[in-house]
Structure 1
Amino acid sequence: MIDRLSGVILLPTDGSPAGPPVDLSIREGRIAQITAAADPPTRRLLAMPALVNAHDHARPLSPTSFGAAGKPLETWLLRLAAMPAIDPYLGAVAALGRAARAGAGSVMAHYTRFQGPMAPIDEAKEIARAARDVGLRVTLAVFMRDRNPLVYEGEDSVLMKLPDGVRAVIETQFLSSMPGVVEQIANVEAIAAETESALFSIQFGPSGPQWCSDALIAAIGEASRQTGRRVHMHLLETRYQRAFADRAYPEGVVERLKTLGLLTPRLTLAHCVHARPAELDAIAAAGAIIATNPSSNLHLKSGIAPISAALSRGCRVALGVDGSAFDEDDDIVREMRLGHFLHGGWGFDSVIERGAWLSAIVANGRFANGAPGPGALTVGAPADILVLDLDALDRDAVMAVEPIDLVFARASAAHVARLMVAGREIVRDGRVTGVDLNAAEGALRRHYREKMPSRAAFVEAWRDLEPAVAAHYRDGLGCC
């Protein structure tokens, strides 16, 4: 823990010019005092709220390295089975370490795959240990699903197209039995009882309507109502999910979520790429959060989400990296800029100004992740602070330029000078202080390479599975 952050310029988000350098006194993880800098700084540093990754999956390495590049979500998800199981602590250190190095102080890890063979509760403890060592605020949404493990509907039509040997491999991989509704709810609460702390929290993590029965969604809604535990779920990420929803929920999928008790301020909805205006209105009226993921939506060919419309209709919007930042580097600083470039408005018509966008995605992201406070750098607020190298940002230094111009024009993770969470410095000049990130990633790569032979049968079967699944959706069973 440190007790002072000296000689930093605070980034204004209200349109006002930046002021002179200040010193921030920090006590018990909070900003205790902000005063004029006692000494001239040796380099210009820019302080802003730590960014929030409001939707991610804490994947140890990019799925591109396992042959998943250039695929729509529906085949990309299945290709993840090419990734062998590894040590969950090592995987979490790598994923969370990269997130911290890139400037995220709070991360939602929608944990959609337990590594095993240890029990889920023990694996969650290992993730919590990794989060503690890295120093982030981490929210773990425990995945929940009880249907459609292969395609959204009609899996038999896919399986019957596969040769017998391939079908056996795919059935073994994807068609194992799933726990019942009561067991899944109890599992989440048991994990919470063993792992939650001031910096680590648990949420219900239903995968999405196409993967969850009405009974499971209703049970999660009721458990959330009783306990106050938040819920994190995908919604309408792809055109195929849109088509499934239109068939399965004639009254509308968002209306069904409302009927089932899930559409409340306790709900975060990731993506919403194919949400319609009336659905955005209902989400706004409920006070639910939309976590948008611009780069992931591009990587997975999902589309550009209607976030400008969502903002105009009063939706609360947060930002996520979803494990697929534009350069696959977990760079949430660049993701923040991309989100505003796409959704801030065109020409002279502004939907949301840059400072307001930054404030909103931080405040809404913290609310969605269950982190305290809105993230503003004010006296009494948690000392969750991202510091950028302003000298490096202002690389030309030919005239006075407002810092917010430089941030939104060119800032990236490369400009991260420091990151503090609850007063603890967890990143300094590109190095994660609590763990050896390079060593962890090196060990992780070695483990994957050693274990890849165990996935040979699946990789071989993929040659038949991928075209069968693509045809299933393309031929109309999953398309619009």
Structure 2
Amino acid sequence: MQSIIRGKYVITRALDRHGWEQIENGAVLQRDGVITAIGAFDDLIRQHPDTAVMGSGNEVLLPGFVNGHHHVGLTPLQLGSPDMPLELWFGTRMVTRDIDLYLDTLYSAFEMIASGITTVQHIHGWMPGKLPAVEARAEQVIGAYEKIGMRVSYCFALRDQNHLVYEANQDFLARVPAEVKPLLARYFDRFELDAEDNIALFGSLHGKHRDKDRVKIQLAPANLHWCSDQALELLAATSERYDAPLHMHLVETAYQKEYARRRGGGTALDYIARFGLLGPRLTLGHGVWLSESDIEKVAETGTHVCHNCSSNFRLRSGVAPLNRLEAAGVNVAIGLDEAGINDDRDMLQEMRMVLRAHREPGMDDRVPTMAQVFRMASEGGALTTPYGASLGRLEVGRGADMVLIDWNQISFPYLDAEVPVLDAVIQRAKVEGVRAVLVAGEVVYRDGRFTRIDRDAVLRQISDMLKRPLNDDEMERRRLSKAVLPHLRAFYDSYHAPERHVPFYRQSSKV
């Protein structure tokens, strides 16, 4: 399979914080899902006159975007869980409906692809049951991405302790009234996978999918408070054995920072460093409360960070020290997490959010730039997955993952000729302007329609499924959510007073 994809402007990669490579009236030649040539459209069509051409010549062609941190399909809000501070939100998440994971995954995949995302880091978790049941659900998620044609890096988050608050299940169980205890005990009993089961799940999925072009399997220590020392040891050893990347939530909130201090007497980063986890195989999700010394160690070890800007705002977690991370040379990705600021998975919107959220007062050059945000959403994200340097740029030898965005949508009715093309794309491109999305050279989305699957039919299935009455388990979890919420508040009221009244651009400077 060979095709030429043309663009009025072809933006191939970021060069540095302020520069990018751009070809006017350019094109990309791909064969069997791999880029084989890049250059002027006239030259490529002359050399390959019988090759099919995609694009009208009035679009911007860019590398496909990478969502570096993702969890679910229908958003928590859609399923009845309002935005709250993260630690309380874990309690309200109990109310979410049971839904077919295949259909649920397709729902968010529709949104991601329509905004130009071609690869997703899917971090799965919160699944009850024993290993066979959990593995079957994992295969539903992976199968949905295979069906729609998207690339996925899948991992199941390892959690072997502290399933609701930042202390042992039995200790928190002792805090709640007698009438709440049976409900909460049954909830805890739902989670039957231990650390060894989780590693076995990784091994099984890795073996099944290791030779696939669009599916990769990696590891996910859920967070420091969710992982025992035994789990961290197993994860480090497994990552080394398989050369498998890991994606770990870390210091998302000030409460998690305090948990790390109580557990190990220092920072969360220092704690996981004891197990040899830092390095190019590890990505830290969020990292909002990293200290200055943490950032230095992240940079020194080549550890990555995934910035989840909208999620941090929605759950009151704080503002990540992005400018410090970038200044230190840390590779940073962009993740949409559970949902973006518009309660959807729109990478074009999220790039603007990242661009604007870190504009520190002053006139220096430490604020995010267009090229930097573009790199985060493309190459930066790819480097946090097992796909690594095989994606993220339009470059000969890399995967032919691309997005075409209508230049008229960006520039009409007027755009000054002096405005740089990438500036215009980052600040003005909208989902309705996405004309086509290609994964491995295959068109998976074109002119508002998905080529492999009927979106309207899937949405009708989801709607019909969720019209049914709540089942007994869903009803019980809703009762538990309401009953346990005051006790979550009480636990954290006595746990730690978060740092307040600190300018967002300095809030992470303290250890």
TM-score bin (small chain) = over 0.9
Q: Distance in 1 between matches of 2:109 and 2:162?
A: 30
Q: CA deviation at 1:95?
A: 2.2
Which one of the candidate residues 187, 204, 210 is aligned to 1:190?
204
Q: Which residue of 2 aligns with 1:54?
A: 68
Q: Which residue of 2 aligns with 1:9?
A: 9
Q: Which residue of 1 aligns with 2:293?
A: 278
Q: Which residue of 2 aligns with 1:326?
A: 341
- Report the 3-state secondary structure (helix = DSSP H, G, I; strand = E; otherwise coil) of the residue aligned with 1:314: coil
Shift in CA distance, 337/392, structure 1 to aligned 2, threshold 3 Å: same
The 8 Å contact of residues 388 and 415 in structure 1, kept in 2 or not, is answered as yes
Matches within 5 A, 1:274-353: 274-343=289-358, 346-351=361-366, 352-353=368-369
**Do residues 110 (structure 1) and 126 (structure 2) align?**
no
Letter in 2 for 1:37: F
Q: Which residue of 1 aligns with 2:257?
A: 242
Shift in CA distance, 236/393, structure 1 to aligned 2, threshold 3 Å: same
Q: Distance in 2 between matches of 1:264 and 1:382?
A: 25
Which one of the candidate residues 370, 378, 386 is aligned to 1:362?
378
Q: CA deviation at 1:379?
A: 2.7
Say what the alpha-carbon RMSD is for the aligned residues: 2.5
- TM-score w.r.t. length of structure 1: 0.93
Q: Which residue of 1 aligns with 2:504?
A: none
Q: CA deviation at 1:385?
A: 0.7
Q: Distance in 1 between matches of 2:120 and 2:235?
A: 22
The 8 Å contact of residues 94 and 481 in structure 2, kept in 1 or not, is answered as no
Q: Distance in 1 between matches of 2:215 and 2:412?
A: 38
Letter in 2 for 1:207: A
- Report the 3-state secondary structure (helix = DSSP H, G, I; strand = E; otherwise coil) of the residue aligned with 2:466: helix
Worse overlay, 289-298 or 258-267: 258-267
**Do residues 29 (structure 1) and 36 (structure 2) align?**
no
The 8 Å contact of residues 250 and 285 in structure 2, kept in 1 or not, is answered as yes
Letter in 2 for 1:90: L
- Report the 3-state secondary structure (helix = DSSP H, G, I; strand = E; otherwise coil) of the residue aligned with 1:141: strand
Letter in 1 for 2:363: F
- TM-score w.r.t. length of structure 2: 0.87
**Do residues 465 (structure 1) and 460 (structure 2) align?**
no
Q: Which residue of 2 aligns with 1:391?
A: 408
Q: Distance in 2 between matches of 1:4 and 1:94?
A: 30
Shift in CA distance, 463/204, structure 1 to aligned 2, threshold 3 Å: same
Q: CA deviation at 1:336?
A: 1.5
The 8 Å contact of residues 128 and 192 in structure 2, kept in 1 or not, is answered as no
Shift in CA distance, 398/289, structure 1 to aligned 2, threshold 3 Å: closer
Q: CA deviation at 1:158?
A: 4.8
Q: CA deviation at 1:43?
A: 6.1
How big is each residue's C-alpha offset from its partner over 1:105-142, in whole Å with a ceiling of 9 and x where there is no partner? Answer: 11000001337796222222222221111111101111
Matches within 5 A, 1:61-460: 61-114=74-127, 119-153=133-167, 158-160=172-174, 162-176=176-190, 178-196=192-210, 197-343=212-358, 346-351=361-366, 352-371=368-387, 372-397=389-414, 399-400=416-417, 401-450=419-468, 452-454=470-472, 455-460=474-479
- List runs of 5+ in structure 2 lacking aligned partners: 46-52, 500-511
Q: Distance in 1 between matches of 2:8 and 2:185?
A: 57
How big is each residue's C-alpha offset from its partner over 1:152-175, in whole Å with a ceiling of 9 and x where there is no partner? Answer: 016566545544343322221134
- Report the 3-state secondary structure (helix = DSSP H, G, I; strand = E; otherwise coil) of the residue aligned with 1:417: strand
The 8 Å contact of residues 10 and 62 in structure 2, kept in 1 or not, is answered as yes
Worse overlay, 337-346 or 316-325: 337-346
- For these two proteins, the number of residue pairs brought into alignment is 479
Q: CA deviation at 1:100?
A: 1.3
How big is each residue's C-alpha offset from its partner over 1:59-80, in whole Å with a ceiling of 9 and x where there is no partner? Answer: 1211112332231111212322
Letter in 2 for 1:446: D
- List runs of 5+ in structure 1 lacking aligned partners: none
Q: Distance in 1 between matches of 2:126 and 2:464?
A: 21
The 8 Å contact of residues 135 and 426 in structure 1, kept in 2 or not, is answered as yes
Letter in 1 for 2:493: R
Q: CA deviation at 1:21?
A: 1.5
Q: CA deviation at 1:199?
A: 0.9
The 8 Å contact of residues 87 and 115 in structure 1, kept in 2 or not, is answered as no
How big is each residue's C-alpha offset from its partner over 1:400-422, in whole Å with a ceiling of 9 and x where there is no partner? Answer: 23321212222232321111111
The 8 Å contact of residues 334 and 376 in structure 2, kept in 1 or not, is answered as no
